[in-house]
Structure 1
């Protein structure tokens, strides 16, 4: 996703994954090789294509995205407890009008207010869910701190796992769905000590670039990824993603399966 911050006006606003240059470099350092991908990886051919956008993409041409085989999209809604993307409403409504299954995403800053506070802000500002088959579960984007030297936001591993638990429990209480976890294997293993507390409850949205396949998953007993963000540019606006299943399974996942 993206950190489009009014919270930090001195930081240049970037798209979901443009801020991920450093994240991608870190991932590359842990066994990501090859060239930058511009097409869907051969190993994932045939899986439903999607993308994610933030305020950086502004007014997206959703019909064009649909024509290029987009089936789903995640739209950044909020960050921390004070920022809501000014483009969220039009992007969220526009993608649905074009026939895409869409969901909302929250960019976490765990060193700021509690997981409960940020979850409530997210749900109030677009992170809701309905079992009508067009709304993906709310998503939590949690990764290395883009604003300072403390990569894990200054939280110890147990506190980080506790923050995620609090966010997840509150989102589930308010919406009836556990959030999808967007992260990298390296961040998860480093900042949560490979926690297995969420393996059976959270669908995984894995970020791993410049690779022919998703590679190693976060430790903690997880066997499958649900979404894979495989590049930060391509034929669709924003970052490029795949769903690990069929179109029918994607629909059922949106419905609550």
Structure 2
């Protein structure tokens, strides 16, 4: 049946029954993907501060102590090379014998050596076993050479002179023969001087050249001073800045042996070193013509 009019109740009913809009049901959010974080790297354990090893410390200390001992030994006991030549001279030489063994004369020449005295004989019968080799090799490298005889006071001077003359053959450009006198023996001083003059005269007659006289400073002053002024002198005087003898018109000072502990390349061990009082030109004027 139809109803023409609406009462208040009808309106209320309509309000109640009026179709309501559908309720929106929220969609469930998709579950968040779980992000798996990489595991943190395990922290490295800290190294403990290294302490110096006692073993290394003592090893280093021992090495330093050894080095110090080596330096001390060298300073105290090892023979050191000495300067071969004194100041104020420019013509240098050596004198040698079998004590220097085999010498490299080429190296000697390259070390400023201009002249060399070579031991030839001693006493009545002795010949130095290295004489011939030294004599020939020195000449080969253009070193001015000289030969010497070591004098024995108790042996007759004539026999000693004959030994030297039979052993040594001198050539033009060689230094005059040398008489090496270092010991007096039991001879009275006057007799020693007379015997030395016998040797000197005999050798001078054989070679036609006045010999050179070698001795030490003290021996010269004690026994020979003023008695052999006609001869060129070769004086040994060590550990002094200069020889205490002077060259003069009376004294023919020619050579100074300033050390018996010199070192020269080419010679094994220590060697006597000498200087000439003059120039190379003056040295050649002393040699045999």
TM-score, normalising length from structure 2? Answer: 0.66
Q: How is 1:30-179 mapped onto 2 (pairs within 5 angstroms)? A: 38-42=83-87, 44-46=88-90, 48-112=91-155, 114-126=156-168, 128-130=169-171, 132-133=172-173, 135-144=174-183, 152-179=184-211
* Partners of 2:144 and 2:113 in 1: CA distance: 9
Give per-residue Cα distances to partners, 1:109-146, cap 9 Å, x unaligned: 0112x2111011111112x433x22x1101011012xx
Partner of 1:215: 244
Partner of 1:7: none
Partner of 1:226: 254
Task: State the secondary structure of the residue aligned to 2:221.
Answer: helix
CA apart distance, 1:159:
0.2
Q: Is the 8 A contact 2:82 2:263 kept in 1?
A: no
Partner of 2:287: 254
* Partners of 1:162 and 1:234 in 2: CA distance: 34
CA apart distance, 1:179:
1.4
CA apart distance, 1:222:
4.5
* Partners of 2:150 and 2:163 in 1: CA distance: 12
* Partners of 2:131 and 2:166 in 1: CA distance: 13
Q: Is the 8 A contact 2:120 2:164 kept in 1?
A: yes
CA apart distance, 1:223:
3.3
Q: Extract unaligned runs of 5+ from structure 1.
A: 1-35, 145-151
Structure number with the bigger relative contact order (C-alpha 8 A, sep ≥ 6) is 1
CA apart distance, 1:217:
5.9
1:183 has 2:222 as partner: no
Number of corresponding residues: 204
Distance change in 2, residues 1:217/1:115 (3 Å): farther
Runs of 4+ displaced beyond 6 Å: none
* Partners of 2:210 and 2:191 in 1: CA distance: 19
Partner of 1:12: none
Q: Is the 8 A contact 2:157 2:196 kept in 1?
A: yes
Q: Is the 8 A contact 1:37 1:211 kept in 2?
A: no
Distance change in 2, residues 1:217/1:121 (3 Å): farther
Q: Extract unaligned runs of 5+ from structure 2.
A: 1-80
* Partners of 2:251 and 2:232 in 1: CA distance: 11
Distance change in 2, residues 1:185/1:198 (3 Å): same
**Which protein shows a greater Rg?**
2
CA apart distance, 1:37:
5.4
TM-score, normalising length from structure 1? Answer: 0.74
Partner of 2:12: none
Q: Is the 8 A contact 1:53 1:239 kept in 2?
A: yes
Q: Is the 8 A contact 1:38 1:233 kept in 2?
A: no
RMSD over aligned Cα, in angstroms? 2.1
Q: Is the 8 A contact 1:37 1:231 kept in 2?
A: no
